[in-house]
């Protein structure tokens, strides 16, 4: 591929870190430099000649710096087609120099919004000149190289060194694509800020980070994660996370964040909890969670909201599991858990701050609020003659948290602080209940005095009938069926307690 020499460059950047080596290389290769404001002063501080843009345009920076580079002598030099005779004639007529390289980055709009700054400060961080320069240079990639982010400085430095201040068409086209990636992301961030109330319809979302996965849900499917995992986790050990790993970790994190004021542990398979418990220590919570299903835990995803110490690590080390997520690990715990080379250990650094969910369906997408409603004591409406005890209320709310994060139709059987059994993803709520009862029996767990949670209402009294026969004494459900009274009446006749929450928790 033919090399094109860079003869002139316009440099106007907000971030100047790691810019100095590029300036020196351009100077070494005889490149004429144009610049503005702080960048001009930076270059002058390196004792390298630079032409102020005001000298090129014969016009000063005006409106408090809002207008500096928006001038035909700047944009003509960028957009002129070198092989177009008409363009070149006009360049000569108006004494416009060609510009072969543009190095620009944008005002930190997103960072300013995230800082909690006032609206006027945020508006001033909407870049106009920079975004215009980026688009112009990217459009004319046949003749111009655009460097649109400080992230690219290292690569550009290498290109200038290896190719003696020249670039190829393929390189210029690649950097043009990267420029439009940056500009489209920037515009999306501005739109999202100004359209915070959602009055303008349509779907716009942008992330500039992505990670190619080993494969998708199955080996014959390709998979990619779009986002910044490092903002949530530090990976301390193990192999690369897979598509299915990420789906399970998402489910695990959403569940564990329900438990804020007590030490909790959960074990998940295929996004559903097969074990979940609270305890005085991480070790105790793990033991109780594992007890619910010692078979499904094999190959599962483990998560806790407490620091893993040596005792907890020793207890779970004999289990084969894919992933452990925790907010911290003692040095001794890490030494124990790292004995299995592929075991993934994640340190959770922060809570999820997402409030929306998106899913592709048919030829489009659907979007909704995340289910951030956690049933509380104030939500419980007693509808039976027998009142729930304090201990039952704690058990009911515990079961409700798990139920909310389990595939519908689901039934959760639990006591205070321990999942006993669950029925998951059944087409019938009765089948889900029977599955849970059979599972509890298979692991020798008693249901006497336990509670039952359902993600949706009971259309018939059959579930409370079956539950009562198995030993269940209290029920939590949303209510809302035209036959709610049938289930309530059955509970009254058999000295069971039932509370309604008014909130359904379907999960598909």
Q: Which residues contact 174 (CB under 8 A, 6 or more apart)?
A: none
Largest pairwise CA distance in the chain: 98
Residue 339 · residue 241 · CB < 8 Å: no
- Phi, psi (deg, nearest 5) at residue 388: -75, 145
The tokens of 336 are what? 């124990």
The CA distance from 252 to 245, in Å, is 10
Question: Going by C-beta distance under 8 Å and a sequence separation of 6 or more, which residues neighbour residue 315?
Answer: 283, 286, 287
Decide: 156 and 147 in contact? Cβ < 8 Å.
yes
Q: Contact at 8 Å (CB) between 225 and 250?
A: no
Question: What are the residue numbers of the active site?
Answer: 139, 270
- What's the distance, Cα to Cα, between the start and end of the chain in Å? 52
Listed in sequence order, the residues at least 6 apart from 61 whose beta carbon sits closer than 8 Å to its beta carbon are: 36, 37, 54, 67, 68
Instruction: Collapse the DSSP code of 14 into the 3-class scheme (helix H, G, I; strand E, B; otherwise coil) and give the result.
Output: coil
Closest CA to 337 of 239, 232, 238: 238
Q: How far is CA 483 from CA 71, 403, 434, 458, 486, in A?
A: 73, 22, 21, 8, 5
**In 80-194, where does DSSP find H-type helix?**
85-93, 109-114, 119-124, 129-139, 153-162, 169-194
Length of the chain: 508
């Amino acid at each position: 591929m033919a090399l094109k020499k860079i003869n002139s460059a316009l440099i106007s950047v907000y971030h100047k870190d790691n810019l100095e080596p590029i300036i020196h290389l351009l100077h070494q290769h005889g490149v004429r430099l144009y610049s503005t404001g702080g960048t001009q002063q930076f270059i002058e501080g390196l004792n390298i000649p630079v032409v102020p843009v005001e000298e090129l345009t014969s016009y000063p920076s005006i409106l408090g710096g809002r207008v500096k580079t928006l001038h035909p002598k700047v944009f003509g030099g960028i957009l002129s087609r070198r092989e177009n005779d008409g363009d070149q004639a006009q360049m000569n007529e108006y004494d416009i120099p060609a510009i072969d390289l543009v190095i620009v980055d944008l005002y930190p709009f997103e960072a300013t919004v995230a800082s909690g700054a006032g609206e006027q400060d945020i508006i001033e961080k909407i870049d106009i000149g920079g975004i215009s320069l980026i688009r112009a240079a990217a459009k004319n990639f046949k003749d111009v190289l655009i460097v649109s982010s400080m992230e690219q400085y290292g690569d550009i430095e290498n290109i200038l060194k290896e190719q003696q201040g020249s670039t190829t068409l393929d390189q210029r086209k690649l950097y043009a694509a990267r420029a439009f990636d940056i500009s489209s992301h920037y515009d999306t961030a501005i739109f999202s800020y100004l359209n915070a109330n959602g009055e303008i319809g349509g779907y716009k979302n942008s992330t500039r980070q992505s990670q190619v996965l080993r494969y998708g849900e199955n080996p014959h499917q390709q998979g990619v994660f779009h986002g910044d995992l490092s903002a949530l986790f530090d990976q301390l050990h193990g192999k690369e996370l897979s598509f299915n790993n990420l789906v399970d970790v998402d489910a695990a994190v959403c569940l564990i964040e329900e438990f804020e004021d007590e030490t909790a542990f959960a074990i998940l398979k295929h996004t559903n909890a097969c074990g979940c418990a609270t305890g005085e220590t991480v070790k105790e919570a793990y033991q109780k969670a594992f007890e619910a299903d010692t078979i499904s835990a094999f190959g599962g995803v483990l998560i806790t909201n407490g620091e893993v110490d040596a005792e907890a690590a020793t207890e779970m080390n004999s289990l084969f599991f894919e992933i452990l997520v925790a907010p911290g690990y003692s040095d001794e715990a890490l030494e124990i858990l790292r004995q299995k080379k592929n075991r993934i250990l994640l340190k959770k650094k922060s809570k999820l701050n997402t409030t929306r969910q998106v899913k592709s369906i048919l030829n489009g997408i659907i979007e909704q609020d995340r289910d951030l409603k956690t049933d509380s004591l104030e939500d419980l409406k007693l509808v039976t003659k027998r009142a729930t005890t304090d201990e039952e209320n704690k058990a009911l709310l515990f079961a409700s948290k798990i139920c909310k994060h389990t595939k519908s139709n689901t039934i959760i059987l639990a006591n205070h602080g321990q999942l006993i059994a669950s029925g998951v993803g059944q087409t019938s709520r009765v089948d889900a209940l029977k599955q849970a009862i059979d599972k509890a029996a298979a692991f020798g767990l008693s249901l006497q005095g336990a509670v039952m949670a359902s993600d949706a209402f009971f259309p018939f009294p059959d579930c409370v009938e079956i539950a009562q026969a198995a030993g269940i004494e209290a029920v939590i459900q949303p209510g809302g069926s035209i036959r709610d009274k049938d289930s309530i009446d059955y509970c009254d006749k058999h000295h069971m307690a039932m509370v309604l929450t008014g909130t359904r928790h379907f999960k598909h």
